[in-house]
Amino acid sequence: MYDGMDRPGALTFVPAGAERLGFYRNVDLTYSALWIDPDASIPGCERLGDLPILVNKNDQVIATLVGSLRDEIALGHKPDTAYVEHLVGLVGLRVATLNREQRPSLRHGCLSRRALGRVRDYIDAHMNSDISLSALAAVADMAVDSFGRRFKATTGLAPYAYVIEQRVRRAETLLRETGLSISIIAVRLGFSSQSHFTTTFRRLRGMTPRVYRMHFSPES
């Protein structure tokens, strides 16, 4: 039982199968809810069903992660599957930490050159589609959790971040060497919209695609 006020930034975790009843008085409540499929195979979430209910906890990392996902959706962007999977996995690990779960500190090896090559080829061939973490792990013939750790150890980037970086690099080439419109480039590279492409490009390169193109082709 919990009897008290919900503080700003409060975090509650309810495992699958648990029933939670809440009674509120004089409430002006705004919140974000992240629902995780208990049957999904997401690294970091394997033991969430075994954890107890959390009420009115606080964690700035989870607040930032869920807030960023909320803001992306509010802007009309459709986040990549790999991005969402990675975000949910991080949330799961943080929830386990809040429950004082002991997580072993492991040192993970790198992907083999052949496996990394297959993954890069897959990303290059499917640049305009929604690339999931599970699909990349299957290409590398590895379990999802092991693949994610080994991929980051090899490239220095999480899989979803690597995919975004490759899309932006491809965009740079198209902006410099073709006359394709920015909206067409966004579609070809798998962004949900031109605004999503522009926001991502500016975040990673410090300028919009239009400014980048003008820098290399002033006559454009």
The fraction of the chain above a pLDDT of 90, given in percent, is: 30
**pLDDT, the chain, mean:** 84
Q: Which two tokens stand for residue 181?
A: 């419109």
Per the structure, the complete domain to which residue 181 belongs is given by 164-220
- 213: phi then psi, degrees, rounded to nearest 5: -65, -45
Does residue 188 form part of some domain? yes
| Half-sphere exposure (Cβ direction) of 180: Cα atoms closer than 13 Å | 19
Question: pLDDT of 91-105, one tens digit each?
Answer: 888 888 777 543 444
Domain assignment present for 187: yes
CATH number at residue 197: 1.10.10.60
Q: Are residues 54 and 128 in the same domain?
A: no
Q: Is the per-residue pLDDT at 187 higher than 80?
A: yes
Region label for 104, one of left (φ > 0), alpha (ψ between -120 and 50) or beta (otherwise)? beta
Q: Which of 1-10, 53-62, 182-191, 198-207 has the lowest mean pLDDT?
A: 1-10
DSSP letter (8 states) at residue 11: E
Which residue, 76, 98, 120, sits at the end of a domain? 98
Q: Which residues pair with 54 in a beta bridge?
A: 13
pLDDT given at position 118: 94
- Determine the 3-state secondary structure of 157 from DSSP: coil
Q: Whole-structure pTM over 0.85, yes or no? A: no
Task: Tell whether 27 is covered by a domain.
Answer: yes
Determine, yes or no, domain membership for 28: yes
Which of 98, 121, 142 terminates a domain? The answer is: 98
For residue 6, give both structure tokens. 């919900």
Claim to verify: residue 152 and residue 195 sit in the same structural domain: no
What pLDDT, on the 0 to 100 scale, is given for residue 103?
A: 43
For residue 172, with 0-12 CB atoms within 10 Å meaning exposed, 13-18 middle and 19 or more buried, which class applies? middle
Alpha helices per DSSP H over the chain: 60-74, 81-98, 113-125, 133-139, 144-155, 159-177, 182-188, 194-205, 209-216
Element (H, E) at 38: none
The listed range with the strongest mean pLDDT (34-43, 55-64, 131-140) is 131-140
Greater confidence (7 vs 75) lies with 75
- Tally of structural domains, the chain: 3
Quick one: 150 and 208 in the same domain?
Answer: no
User: What is the rounded CA–CA span in Å between residue 145 and residue 56?
Assistant: 29
**Domain for residue 15, yes or no?**
yes
* 206 and 139 assigned to the same domain: no
